[in-house]
Structure 1
Amino acid sequence: MFAFDKIAERRIQEAVDRGEFNDLPGRGKPLQIEDDSGIPEDLRMAYKILKNADCLPPELQLKKEIRQMEDLLDDIPDEKERYKLIKKINYRIMKLNMMGRKSPLLEETEIYYHKVADKLAGK
């Protein structure tokens, strides 16, 4: 195997000397290396396929929905509608916390209506 490595290195160096790598796309930019060390080895290929198909795991999809709904809260002038949206957000947060296998310290916290109402009212 050592001889094969030497041959490969020599051929790469010869190509560099001839300038064959000068016009490669992304030259001079950092590599985009994905850290998949937190994913079990037997699931890495499946996760990569899902990622390439723009599919999110259910937990991340739920987090995305929660963040989008929280962004909508600022634009709702009606207090009753805001309250309904907060209830929906809290339901999704509860659902997210139930599906996770993580420490309770890392769980999402629910939105408390009175605190939000006071903050929006400028109190």
Structure 2
Amino acid sequence: MHIFDLLAERRIVDAIGRGELDGLPGAGRPLPPDGEDPLVPAEIRMLNRVLKNAGWAPAQVGLRREIAALRGELAGMPEGARRVVLQRRLAERLLRLSEAGRA
């Protein structure tokens, strides 16, 4: 996570704690279905729907899935050569994800 992400998250949590986000328009209603954001132009929504239906996802999504799977596999794994290999793989995936966020 970047410092700006952390700062934004902190400010959101503080605002929620102070009740500043209570009573916003749409509060309590479900979010629009995937890809149906009214602020996104219709052409882009259609393109997003086609890509999603084709099974395409940004590289970052795949990296996040791999990271979650590696963390799950490492949880409770005893020390040993296999654990070291997985820890290195996890570190490499985290680095790639970090670099992708800067691009």
* TM-score normalised according to structure 1 size: 0.46
* TM-score normalised according to structure 2 size: 0.53
Shift of 1:40: 7.2
- Give the 3 Å change call, closer, same or farther, for CA 40–68 of structure 1 in structure 2: farther
Which has the larger Rg? 1
User: What residue in structure 2 maps to residue 94 of structure 1?
Assistant: 95
Partners of 2:91 and 2:39 lie apart in 1 by 28
Partners of 1:100 and 1:38 lie apart in 2 by 24
**Unpaired segments ≥5 residues, structure 2:** 1-29
- Give the 3 Å change call, closer, same or farther, for CA 44–53 of structure 1 in structure 2: same
Partners of 1:89 and 1:47 lie apart in 2 by 29
Shift of 1:89: 0.6
- Give the 3 Å change call, closer, same or farther, for CA 74–49 of structure 1 in structure 2: same
User: What residue in structure 2 maps to residue 48 of structure 1?
Assistant: 49
The CA RMSD measured in Å over matched residues stands at 3.0
Partners of 2:39 and 2:100 lie apart in 1 by 18
User: What residue in structure 2 maps to residue 64 of structure 1?
Assistant: 65
Percent of aligned positions that are identical: 30
